Amino acid sequence: MTSSDMEYLTIALPKGKLFSISAQLLAKIGYTAENLHEKSRKLVITNEEKKIKFIITKTADVPTYVEYGAADIGIIGKDVLMEEEKDVYELLDLKFGKCHLMMAVPKDAKRAKLTDYMHTRVATKFPKTAEHFFNSKGMQMEFIKLNGSIELGPIVGLSESIVDIVETGTTLKENNLEEIAYIADATARLIANRVSFKMKFNRINQMVEDLRQILESGEAK
């Protein structure tokens, strides 16, 4: 780590759904910067006074930046964290971005139970997590990796089922799908690079404590 790296705390924030609420939460503990808003196209936003750098990344890449130390800290959904299997510390459950991972099939599917799907095709953004789940059930499956609009898979005959996240259930409903197996809950997590956590312990630990207080006081909402 160079002395300049040591001077700043670099925080990776995902674009997309988790961005605004992450930025709002960090602002509550004084971690702010000019131009840290959704409309900005800047990828590195620095607060010189507080020695904070925010880097704005594609959602699934946050754990990679943190694992390699390009960011000291990151905010990311547990669903992505499980899938990416990166070597990072998970410091805090931030409680927002609540959703769950599940398997869904067409409502009119004739198969009655989970094991009737043995050896069929699963469309998903989360192939590793899905494989762990099916392995735990003793089921071998064929995984088809998609990058979005997962629900389309069974509609167009690409797959027999999907593994995806559900929040309100609206997307499943509107696409005539039903959940048949729960896999895991997910919320946003604060993660840290292993070396940064040791080298910048006081700063990171203070940040975790401040966030914990905000979360416990209910002020985060």
Ligand X SMILES: O=P(O)(O)OC[C@H]1O[C@H](OP(=O)(O)OP(=O)(O)O)[C@H](O)[C@@H]1O
Ligand Y SMILES: Nc1ncnc2c1ncn2[C@@H]1O[C@H](COP(=O)(O)OP(=O)(O)OP(=O)(O)O)[C@@H](O)[C@H]1O
List of residues contacting ligand X (CB under 6 A)? 148-151, 164-171
Which of 130, 165, 183, 211 is the binder for ligand Y (CB under 6 A)?
A: 165
59 binds ligand Y (CB under 6 A): yes
Of the chain, the end-to-end C-alpha distance in Å amounts to 36
- The pair phi, psi for residue 113, each rounded to 5°, is -130, 165
Contacts of 16 (CB under 8 A, 6+ apart): 59
Which of 21, 32, 42, 60 is the binder for ligand Y (CB under 6 A)?
A: 60
Which of 26, 80, 162, 190 is the binder for ligand Y (CB under 6 A)?
A: 80
Task: Name which of ligand Y, ligand X, none residue 87 binds, using a CB cut-off of 5 to 8 Å depending on partner kind.
Answer: none
- The pair phi, psi for residue 76, each rounded to 5°, is -155, 150
Task: Name which of ligand X, ligand Y, none residue 12 binds, using a CB cut-off of 5 to 8 Å depending on partner kind.
Answer: none
- The pair phi, psi for residue 145, each rounded to 5°, is -80, 125
Could you tell me the two tokens for 157? 């005959």
Which of 138, 148, 157, 218 is the binder for ligand Y (CB under 6 A)?
A: 148
Task: Name which of ligand X, ligand Y, none residue 170 binds, using a CB cut-off of 5 to 8 Å depending on partner kind.
Answer: ligand X
Please give the torsion angle defined by the CA atoms of residues 200, 202, 207 and 208, in that order, rounded to the nearest 10 degrees.
100
* CA Rg value for the chain: 19
Task: Name which of ligand X, ligand Y, none residue 18 binds, using a CB cut-off of 5 to 8 Å depending on partner kind.
Answer: ligand Y
Query: Which positions lie near ligand Y, rule CB under 6 A?
Result: 16-18, 58-60, 77, 79-80, 97, 99, 148, 165, 167, 186
